[in-house]
Amino acid sequence: MTKHLIILLVLFLIFSCISENKETNKFKVEYHGALKNMMHKGDISAKVKLTDFENLEHFYALGAAENLKGEIQILNSKPYNTSVVDSSLMFDNSYDKNATLLVYATVNKWNSFKIPNEIKTYEQLENFINLTAKTNEINTDEPFPFLIEGKPKYVDWHVINWKDGDMEHSHIKHINSGLNDRLSNKSVHMLGFYSNSHHAIFTHHTTNMHIHLVTTENDIAGHVDDLNLNNGMVLKLPRI
């Protein structure tokens, strides 16, 4: 009897550990605000305070600041928020901001996948992310975060600086309102969120992805408008 009890106890502990690990590695993408409300209603008011998340570990988020006065990037709980002041890019590494749009998740562990050299364009990357997620037990009918690391051939980026009182919104006006440029052959960390069911919420209607970047030199961070990859880049997906 004692032997059987010991075996049952060991099995219980093993399955408890497995359940605990699965629970620990779960993620849920959440968001505040919606692109369609910006575009059609001119609503760029604060929807959430970043300070609500400052004590979370392994926190990843991207979005736009209140009144569209900058971009929000938080990677592994470290903010790399940017805004435009006197035509210059300014960094804010604090949580002392409000967001009019924020997409976020907590991810404890990631799996890495080499991006094939033939994957170059934004559209090719989107398809590769979808396929890789499906083959690694991620439900692609639900939103999920991803990371891209390496040195792309180029990335077109912008940091928004919306004119006070302007109620006519468009994607092109958002890009041109602040700073925008092309970054070439520089090492970056990119955070993105993939969803096929959140168009006009946190992805534009032409894509299933919303991506922001931070250079490894921490001199540029903002919204990714287009990209072209080099060889040797890496995709990271949440470990399930």
More reliable by pLDDT, 137 or 14: 137
Place of tokens 């946190």: 202
Question: pLDDT grade, residue 18 (50/70/90)?
Answer: very low
User: Residue 5: is its pLDDT beyond 50?
Assistant: no
Number of domains in the chain: 1
What tokens appear for 29 in the block?
Answer: 């993408």
What's the burial of 81, exposed, middle or buried (CB within 10 Å: 0-12/13-18/19+)?
buried
Segment 224-239, tens digit of pLDDT: 999 999 999 999 999 9
- Listed in sequence order, the residues at least 6 apart from 177 whose beta carbon sits closer than 8 Å to its beta carbon are 68, 160, 161, 162, 163
CA distances from 206 to 80, 92, 119 (A): 27, 31, 19
Which tens digits make up the pLDDT trace of 200-217?
Answer: 999 998 999 999 999 999
pLDDT at 169: 87
Measured CA to CA, the distance from residue 71 to residue 136 in angstroms comes to 31
What's the domain range around 151?
1-240
What CATH code is carried by the domain that includes residue 49?
3.30.1330.80
pLDDT tier for residue 164 given thresholds of 50, 70 and 90: confident
- Predicted pLDDT at 4: 52
